[in-house]
Structure 1
């Protein structure tokens, strides 16, 4: 879609009022449904509050806010007055919040009772903080609920041109500090048309339940942006996501689309009451954010029978750019190109490799960011120009145009002089009936790199059992030198494996 001057709040939210959907539910939450008309009015009132506190076009507004109607309204309010939105997880440490406060240099921070104390510790005393569900406040902190209730319910939308940045999407920080990818209006517009409508076929009858929280753009867009573009609805809830919570929300709201990640899929499959759940309302379950092992995919199919639409995307390219298709999903494949994108699979010199060979994925499309904020060196490597993103993901493209994920280029291990993809060992281990999830890292032992497997199990498998399981299925040099049993694997706020934290674990015993 060609992006002209427009406003995302007007396009995705207000347009529903013009199309006669004022009374349709936009959001379903703990207190019941919120109509498009009510959400639009709250958005406008918060927009007027932001204007009162000096927010102007191009200013950054940082949301450190639990999922709920207020989160969605605040996000659209910032968009409506022309600000740049950025969002952070509600369970970060004060140190992490200090990083984001400094990095974004936000004009206004929107917080709640869950995040306020840690934001104070991080140092917000010289910044304007608007608080949802306010208690006792300091001089720079203001009760957003009270202010919004007294504000006007109309506000003018600020039109944004194609070259204007309207939102920041943060990288996951799994290998370094999170960086912001700035996007203009064309990114969400194109992704909505190409992926949400063109691949998933979202309609006004869809109700979307997200497993990740809304600070994660993958979930926010699929819950409170893309459904709004067709008059559908999203489900919001402030609590941490657990299998029990997901099962309860499915039973209560009967969603049609579940936005999922492999970590939660594994937990849902392993839940003792999994077989008792009725997921028949779901027409599909999306999977993204990390690799979906084929064996986990099969376990999901056998347990729930809900079609999984696995795909891959990134903050750098805004959202999903390769995906399976409803009715034609293939286990072990991340699918084919989403309409609107082209791709090359290249060797380390940038030369395209033949189909069937492993290479690094380069994706080109009109949703690419302009670079990383504040990191020109890394931007030059990842964004070579021409709306192209050098993803760092290793893939194989087959003759049918299907892509198969082979891990990250920077995760490869050289074992006995041979390159090994940790994901191959991980996918093998997840096939063991006692393994819930696992991760493989390289460990330097006497100057040599050896694969170490970190596993979460539910049964009584021993280290010898699991090493034998791999040795019988893969080449000998891919057998883990050690199998380390852990209660959980460390995750980033987006649910991806935190390899830095995993490397810090003591494996000497």
Structure 2
């Protein structure tokens, strides 16, 4: 076992020794103390070893119930195997699709789950372990399960999918996880007095790094809950002594619009935003309607967190996710000239490249590791600029709309659309045009938005070349589990087009 794995497990045991039965993780299924969590880790590690888990073995685990998921992640780490965090809604079709690129060797699921590997490998409480190999055909001992030598340095294999139809699997080492844990702990001042409310999926890179790893290892209590009941979330924030709400911009807007009154005066709750750039209107809503402080996380599945700003009183002049974390280098380079006027009058910033201690080893491709994307640092595809040492995100290279050779960043237009009171969510995309190359199409929800007023609103705030050429309203837009609108590569919503980018 590597030194980093040993340290991660030692941190958990130290917390158990200090906290005992103090609740560490809770959700609708109940609360689990630090001591009980370690007992589950040990029991599941024994079951995994009996099934042949070890270095290079891929072990999937579904992202809920929370304590089951977290204990399985640490149990997998204890065996030297590779943890693959998966959605608790995983379907058999999705499991099969994952197997086309990165087949699992073992899988933890609830007893009643329809998703499982073909053969049983043991039960542990309310969880079932299944294997891709028939028991009678497995050799005895720890070599039972197929091993991939190329994956032996990996501790996790995290799916990057969400806004893309073709998921990739990012392999990360235990040392990368340890660096992520320390960065979150220090940046957010996590400790036993911290209480986090987490409605984001635990298998998502944001929820995984912060709520499944960093918070428990800091002794912070994490309560996991569903994101679709804003009034209940508001009550929990008010009544439960929450210090940090782990959110994404769409959910923060929903909470703010559902609030009927300001929370009682006292220590303000910190509202953390990640998954997509935080627009100024959403930050203002959090401050004005929820009385909260605002913080941001910028990162990718491939790199871990890049910037983390601790929640603080909102100030309009402070934009972006802040300065890079310790051990993280961010370089901004000119947008490559592809010969189609890509660099002409972009006004959208420069391309972000990251070198980080918490970065992945590479992408899993069947039994090999593709390290090509890491040469010279990982290029995220995001566009940004520096403002007084702070990184300010301005868009994504792949989402830019080419209007007569001028690159338009849809994210900046979307920020204006979201400031219109009737708009709940939006998507700005490019539609092919025989004269302009592309024209700008804005689609908003709900379907009752007054589009004439919305167009006037945009014309008052955007330069003429940035005003959408067409507006449309729909009842809803497709989103990922974290509420991020799925962006088509070409064509407005409802027209043929490929998904655009990896989930960040």
Tell me how far 1:494 sits from its aligned partner.
4.0
Q: For residue 118 of structure 2, what is the aligned residue in structure 1?
A: 125
- Whether the 8 Å contact between 1:44 and 1:77 is mirrored in structure 2 is yes
Tell me how far 1:209 sits from its aligned partner.
1.3
Q: For residue 403 of structure 1, what is the aligned residue in structure 2?
A: 391
- Whether the 8 Å contact between 2:281 and 2:415 is mirrored in structure 1 is yes
After superposition, what is the alpha-carbon deviation per residue over 1:163-195, rounded to whole angstroms, capped at 9, x for unaligned? 82111122134134121111111112112222x
- Secondary structure, aligned partner of 1:425: helix
- With over 3 angstroms needed to count, the CA separation of the structure-2 counterparts of 1:11 and 1:326, relative to structure 1, is same
- Whether the 8 Å contact between 2:348 and 2:394 is mirrored in structure 1 is no
Q: For residue 450 of structure 1, what is the aligned residue in structure 2?
A: 439
- Whether the 8 Å contact between 1:358 and 1:406 is mirrored in structure 2 is yes
Q: For residue 342 of structure 2, what is the aligned residue in structure 1?
A: none
Match for residue 302 of structure 2 among 316, 340, 355: 316
Q: For residue 328 of structure 2, what is the aligned residue in structure 1?
A: 341
Q: Does 1:363 align with 2:354?
A: yes
Residue pairs, 1:102-251, within 5 angstroms: 102-112=100-110, 116-117=113-114, 119=115, 124-126=117-119, 128=121, 133=126, 164-194=153-183, 196-237=184-225, 239=226, 241-251=228-238
Distance 2:193 2:208 in 1: 18
Q: Does 1:436 align with 2:434?
A: no
Distance 2:118 2:438 in 1: 48
Match for residue 412 of structure 1 among 400, 409, 430: 400
Tell me how far 1:499 sits from its aligned partner.
1.2
Distance 1:281 1:81 in 2: 42
Q: For residue 277 of structure 2, what is the aligned residue in structure 1?
A: 291
Match for residue 41 of structure 2 among 40, 43, 50: 43
Aligned length: 466
Q: For residue 471 of structure 1, what is the aligned residue in structure 2?
A: 459
Distance 1:364 1:85 in 2: 23
Tell me how far 1:29 sits from its aligned partner.
3.1
Tell me how far 1:424 sits from its aligned partner.
1.1
Q: Does 1:301 align with 2:287?
A: yes
Tell me how far 1:361 sits from its aligned partner.
0.9
Tell me how far 1:44 sits from its aligned partner.
0.7
- Whether the 8 Å contact between 1:65 and 1:112 is mirrored in structure 2 is no
- Whether the 8 Å contact between 1:170 and 1:181 is mirrored in structure 2 is yes
Tell me how far 1:131 sits from its aligned partner.
8.0
Structure 1 gaps of 5+ residues are: 143-161, 351-355
What's the TM-score once normalised by structure 2's chain length? 0.83
- Whether the 8 Å contact between 1:67 and 1:213 is mirrored in structure 2 is no
Tell me how far 1:338 sits from its aligned partner.
1.5
After superposition, what is the alpha-carbon deviation per residue over 1:98-156, rounded to whole angstroms, capped at 9, x for unaligned? 11234332221111267x22x26xxx325758587479x999999xxxxxxxxxxxxxx
Tell me how far 1:280 sits from its aligned partner.
5.6
CA RMSD of aligned residues (A): 3.2
Distance 1:223 1:207 in 2: 11
- Whether the 8 Å contact between 1:204 and 1:231 is mirrored in structure 2 is yes
- Whether the 8 Å contact between 2:171 and 2:361 is mirrored in structure 1 is yes
Tell me how far 1:42 sits from its aligned partner.
1.3
Tell me how far 1:241 sits from its aligned partner.
4.2
Tell me how far 1:486 sits from its aligned partner.
1.9
Say which is worse superposed, 449-458 or 211-220, in terms of deviation: 449-458
- Whether the 8 Å contact between 1:363 and 1:391 is mirrored in structure 2 is yes
Q: Does 1:85 align with 2:74?
A: no
What's the TM-score once normalised by structure 1's chain length? 0.82
- Secondary structure, aligned partner of 1:373: strand
Distance 2:490 2:290 in 1: 31
Tell me how far 1:59 sits from its aligned partner.
0.9
Q: For residue 142 of structure 2, what is the aligned residue in structure 1?
A: none
Tell me how far 1:8 sits from its aligned partner.
5.6
Tell me how far 1:278 sits from its aligned partner.
5.5
- With over 3 angstroms needed to count, the CA separation of the structure-2 counterparts of 1:315 and 1:36, relative to structure 1, is same
- With over 3 angstroms needed to count, the CA separation of the structure-2 counterparts of 1:357 and 1:296, relative to structure 1, is closer
Tell me how far 1:287 sits from its aligned partner.
0.6
Distance 2:299 2:166 in 1: 19
- Whether the 8 Å contact between 2:271 and 2:311 is mirrored in structure 1 is no
- Whether the 8 Å contact between 1:60 and 1:86 is mirrored in structure 2 is yes
Q: For residue 155 of structure 1, what is the aligned residue in structure 2?
A: none
Match for residue 375 of structure 2 among 384, 407, 431: 384
Distance 1:279 1:49 in 2: 49
- Whether the 8 Å contact between 2:348 and 2:408 is mirrored in structure 1 is no
Tell me how far 1:9 sits from its aligned partner.
5.0
Distance 1:134 1:322 in 2: 36
Distance 2:127 2:320 in 1: 47
- Secondary structure, aligned partner of 1:199: helix
- Whether the 8 Å contact between 2:381 and 2:397 is mirrored in structure 1 is yes
Q: For residue 99 of structure 2, what is the aligned residue in structure 1?
A: 101
Find runs of 4+ consecutive structure 1 residues off by over 6 angstroms. 137-142, 375-378
Match for residue 21 of structure 1 among 19, 22, 36: 19
